[in-house]
Amino acid sequence: MNLLHKKWLNPGKINVSYEDNKIVLENLSNSHKFIIYPKLFKAEKEKEIFLDFNGKLIYGMGCTLKILNRHKTILGECGLNSLFSCKYAMLKYYIIAIYVPANSKMELTKIEYKAKIPQNFYDEYFTNDTLLITPGYPSLENKYNTAFVHTRVQAYQNANINLDIAVINSLPETKLYEFEGVKVFKGDYFALREILKRKKYKNIIVHFFDNNYGNVFDSVDLTDTQLFFYLHGADVLYRDYPKYASNYFERPIDISNKESEFEIKDYYFRKYNLNPNVKWIFVSNFVKNRAEELLDIKFNNYDIVPCFIDTNLFKYVQKDPELRKKIFILRKFTNDNCYAIDIDIRAILELSTRPYFSELEFDIYGDGEMFDVLTAPVKNFSNVHLHRTFLTHEEIKQVHDLHGIGLFASRFDTQGVSLCEAASSGVAVVTSNIPVITSCINPELGVTCTVEDYKSYANAIEKMFYNKEYFLEVAKEESLSVTQKFNYNNTIQKELNIFKNSFTNLGIKIKEPDNNPLLTVIVPAYNVENYLWSGIISLLNQPYNNKLEILIINDGSKDNTASIAKILQDKTTINGKSIVKLINKENGGHGSTINKGIKEATGKYLKIMDGDDTVDSLAFYELLKILEKEDTDIILNNYFEDFASTNFLNPKETYPFMQPGLEYRFEDLCYEGYGFKDWGPILSCSTYKTQMLKDANFKLSEKCFYVDMELNTYIAIACKTIKYYPIYVYRYFLGRQNQSVTKQSYMKNYKNHEKVTINLINILNDNINHISECKKNYIEKKLIIIMIKTQYVVCIDFYNNGKPFREFEKVLKSYPEFYKNPEILTNAIKFHRLTNGYLIRFNSILVKLKRFIRKILN
């Protein structure tokens, strides 16, 4: 659908002209405006919103195409000259609007809207051997967004280093756009996983490293990749949060409730500090020293490289002394008082009380939610000009050329790029006496002021107003200091040398396999070509990899799973012995792979890891050290749920009632209240003694889902002793299509679920004379009844007909001890039994009616 061919609603009353195949928008006001497409769009199931938005920016900032729900909440936005796609699973209706910044004009030539099947942006864009990851990047609508990263990218390109640029944050949208000749991809953390699973990079450069990136990196193979983590301040000085993120005119932010969040961040910094392929690059010595103090660590492999100041663009030119009367402020007007714009404004107000004020002229540049609030006290001065816009570097240079003094108060900074650019150009910068700034601006010049003393900033400007020679001296000395510290050789060239020479020893050190493996890991693998490599590498990336036997059971995959497994086998083969072993078989389902794996296993212990899951390598190493000394039947650990779509790692502590390292009789944990709560030993938490499994001599159902419940039942029967160690080893990946735990899969495979449910009853009955009463009760309550309840939920809540319900009823009637069990018989089951399932199609209406009646009665 071409959205150019219809008149848009114009509540903002901006200038709109419709010409042949284009729309011209002009906003002459000092506030942002918008126009709205006159249609309420309805979301289509399984399809994405796709936008192609093109045009020409004539002046000001670029407009954005925004998607809003009916409550006017912004759900996504597409910048000028961008491709955009996004899927909103819970969205029913939405509107499309164009946001037009203040003092801007643009010509729109293409606004194409489609609802289409998700598009793959990855393969066509990511083609270079170096990936740069950053949470933000400049665009026509926000030219100031991490502009220092863009400066670096341009310098790298000039040095013939071509990069793929990925802007990665939590927004669930995908974009492709271009800014000043640089192609930029924008996506969420799930998109980053997809990128890194599909492509192996030689170098990855990360600006603003944090636990979100660390969680993604943990799930992919980066062992042969050089990692360069740039730390600019807020990303590592998070315990200084009140200093740089408190709001204007409010008390400092309270971080007393953030310690658990900070501990997660600490974990990732300490973990990646141990990785030999990681280089930390700090923007200043201050950041490095303060980070070590706050984290209580010493960074192993680091360097100090400040942000580059383009001294060719921002070249020193001696000012006409008359320009000392022209003063500018250039800032982001977000609600972060570290920028100290309020101090700049107070300094102007102070100057307004002095006799020469009318001879001064002020220009204020920037944008953000606090622009109107912060500039309100000075907006009515005739010699104060407000420019609500962001600027490119060329535009910033023009500002430098037209002004003599830059006013840059600051409460917290880690370099001060914008003030350094101004100083490099020959602007006399008046700023604050915080440590980072005084390391490059000599305090003896008298222009680094006490932070909150706004009069001292006014006094510094006054001194230059009355003393031309002093003004010229300040400008020259500041420029000399800045250009010496932040020129090309001390920044970009230093980085290029680091990229070239940083690492000599990459990859995993594979040792010759032991003849008697400590642990066999069975990896059931069916069509997991995008996941298998990362999972196996997570097992190998630790010092005890020679003590492993990894059996990849290829279950008749139709993709490249087998060839990837063969490469892994070859890479881990030393002197004819291999850690990884590929076993090909015809497709027989998850149960058949476990059956085969147990038969072939030779390790002292055995663990099962699905082909799309991973382990935490450090925790896995701890587990292996434990297994060396253990002889109990089962070792239990904690695990993570890895929600790929949201990049959320959910820690699951399933056995807190067990004392770490204490051996229990399995039977003793089966008594109600004394042991297992919702679950006993489950696959993601368990490591089994191999001989116990072989002696149990069971066979799981083949060509069937949900057979891990059969495994849990056989384990409960066979196990005698069990221990727990509270380490988080397994990472259970959630987010892959066609996983058996989704609603769609339950509906598709409800007969499989029914089959396994009945199998559990038969397994119990076959062993009823060989197990204790408490084990029997455990298997009934924690395994069988749970499966029966789930089957009823699938039959009643997921389907619009009663056929699956009647089929299950017919089978379960043969087992009256469960068919009549009061723990299973809900009112809904009783009702549908009376109606033989024929009213299940009205179940959702009946549930709502029941709630309504209950509400009235209450």
pLDDT(166) > 80: yes
* CA dihedral sign of residues 142, 148, 151, 157: negative
Buried b (16+ CB within 10 A) or exposed e, 161-177: bebbbbbbbebbbbbbb
H/E stretch holding 551? strand 548-555
638 φ/ψ angles, rounded to the nearest 5 degrees: -85, 175
Strand partners, 604: none
Q: What is the pLDDT of residue 117?
A: 60
| Pairing label, strands 203-207, 130-134 | parallel
Nearest to 601 by CA among 509, 704, 518: 518
Q: Can you read off the two tokens belonging to residue 647?
A: 């990049």
Q: Report the first-to-last Cα separation within the chain, whole angstroms.
A: 51
**Nearest C-alpha neighbor of 780 from the set 763, 794, 797:** 763
Query: What is the mean pLDDT of the segment spanning 155-168?
Result: 92
- CA dist., res. 476 & res. 404, Å (int): 12
Return the half-sphere exposure (C-beta side, CA atoms, 13 A cut-off) of residue 768.
7
Return the minimum-mean-pLDDT range out of 68-82, 282-296, 476-490. Answer: 68-82
Q: What percent of the chain has pLDDT over 90?
A: 72
User: What value does the mean pLDDT of the chain take?
Assistant: 91
How far apart, in whole angstroms, are the C-alpha atoms of residue 407 and residue 344?
A: 7
What's the rounded Cα separation, in Å, for the pair 783 and 714?
11
Write out pLDDT tens, residues 442-464.
999 999 999 999 999 999 999 99
Q: Categorize the per-residue pLDDT at 363 as very low, low, confident or very high, splitting at 50, 70 and 90.
A: very high
What's the pLDDT band for 31 if we cut at 50, 70, 90?
confident
Question: The tokens of 325 are what?
Answer: 């009367």
Write out the DSSP string of 676-719: -SS-SS-GGGEEEEHHHHHHH-----SS-S-THHHHHHHHHHH-
Q: pLDDT tens digit string along 108-142?
A: 999 998 876 656 667 778 999 999 999 999 998 88
Token pair 């450069």 is at which residue? 205
Across residues 589-597, what is the average pLDDT?
A: 96
User: Could you count the other beta carbons within 10 Å of the beta carbon of residue 490?
Assistant: 16
Q: Which comes out higher in pLDDT, residue 129 or 91?
A: 129
Stated as kind and residue range, the H or E segment containing 786 is helix 785-797
Alpha helices in 705-784 (DSSP H): 708-718, 743-748, 750-766, 773-779
Please state, in angstroms and as integers, the Cα–Cα distance from residue 332 to each residue in 370, 388, 434, following that order. Answer: 9, 10, 19
Whether pLDDT at 88 is above 90: no
pLDDT at residue 391 tops 90: no
How many residues can be counted in the chain? 858
DSSP 404: S
Identify the sign of the CA torsion 457, 462, 465, 467.
negative
> Which contacts of 671-674 are long-range, i.e. CB under 8 A and separated by 24 or more positions?
671/774, 672/777
Give per-residue pLDDT as tens, 804-826: 999 999 999 999 999 999 999 98
pLDDT (mean) for 659-664: 96
Q: Which pLDDT score, from 0 to 100, does residue 567 have?
A: 93
d(CA 417, CA 618): 38
pLDDT over 60 at 741, yes or no: no
Task: Please state, in angstroms and rounded to a whole number, the distance separating the CA atoms of residues 436 and 233.
Answer: 11
Residue with tokens 């009853």: 761
Rounded to two decimals, the pTM is 0.80
Residue of 457, 500, 728, 514 lying closest to 619 (CA atoms)? 728
Residue 97's H or E segment, with its range, is strand 93-100
Residue 504 predicted with pLDDT over 80: no
Beta-bridge partners for 284 = none
Rounded CA gap, 748 and 130, in Å?
42
Q: Where does residue 800 rank: exposed (0-12), middle (13-18), buried (19+ CB within 10 A)?
A: exposed
The secondary structure element, H or E, covering residue 522 is strand 519-525
Gap between the Cα atoms of 266 and 270, Å rounded: 6
Q: Please, are residues 362 and 406 in contact by the beta-carbon 8 Å criterion?
A: no
**Token duo for residue 47:** 């399809």
Q: How confident is the model at residue 855 (pLDDT cuts 50, 70, 90)?
A: low
- Three-state secondary structure of 105-143: EEEEEEEEEEEECCCCCHHHHCCCCEEEEECCCCECCEC
Q: Looking at residue 226, what is its pLDDT?
A: 93
Q: Calculate the alpha carbon distances from 432 to 249, 399, 665 in Å.
A: 19, 21, 67
DSSP 782: I
Q: What is each CA distance from 61 to 25, 51, 67, 614, 765, in whole angstroms? A: 12, 20, 19, 45, 74
Return the closest-CA partner of residue 522 out of 620, 612, 627, 601.
Answer: 601
Tokens describing residue 438: 């005084």
CB atoms near residue 79 (< 10 Å): 20
For residue 636, give Cα distances in angstroms to 266, 625, 722: 26, 14, 8
- For the CA atoms of 448, 452, 454, 459, the dihedral, rounded to the nearest 10 degrees, stands at -30
- Dihedral sign for Cα 192, 193, 196, 198, please: negative
Nearest CA among 189, 142, 184, 139 for reference residue 164:
184
pLDDT score, position 668: 93
CA distance 366 to 147: 13
Across 566-595, average pLDDT: 95
Query: Residue 499: which H helix or E strand, with range?
Result: helix 492-501
* Alpha carbons 171 and 56: distance in angstroms, whole number: 26
Reported as a pLDDT band with limits 50, 70 and 90, residue 276 is: confident
Judge contact between 755 and 718, C-beta under 8 A.
Answer: no
Q: What share of the chain is helix, strand, coil (3-state, %, to 5)?
A: 40, 25, 35
Q: What are phi and psi of 173, to 5 degrees?
A: -145, 160
C-alpha distance from residue 482 to each of 309, 314, 425, 470, 677 (Å): 8, 11, 10, 18, 64
Of the listed ranges 202-206, 344-348, 743-747, the one predicted with least confidence:
743-747
Give per-residue pLDDT as tens, 393-439: 899 999 999 999 999 999 999 888 999 999 999 999 999 999 999 99
Q: Is the pLDDT at 1 greater than 90, yes or no?
A: no
Q: Which of 400, 426, 404 is nearest to 323 (CA)?
A: 404
pLDDT above 80: residue 852: no
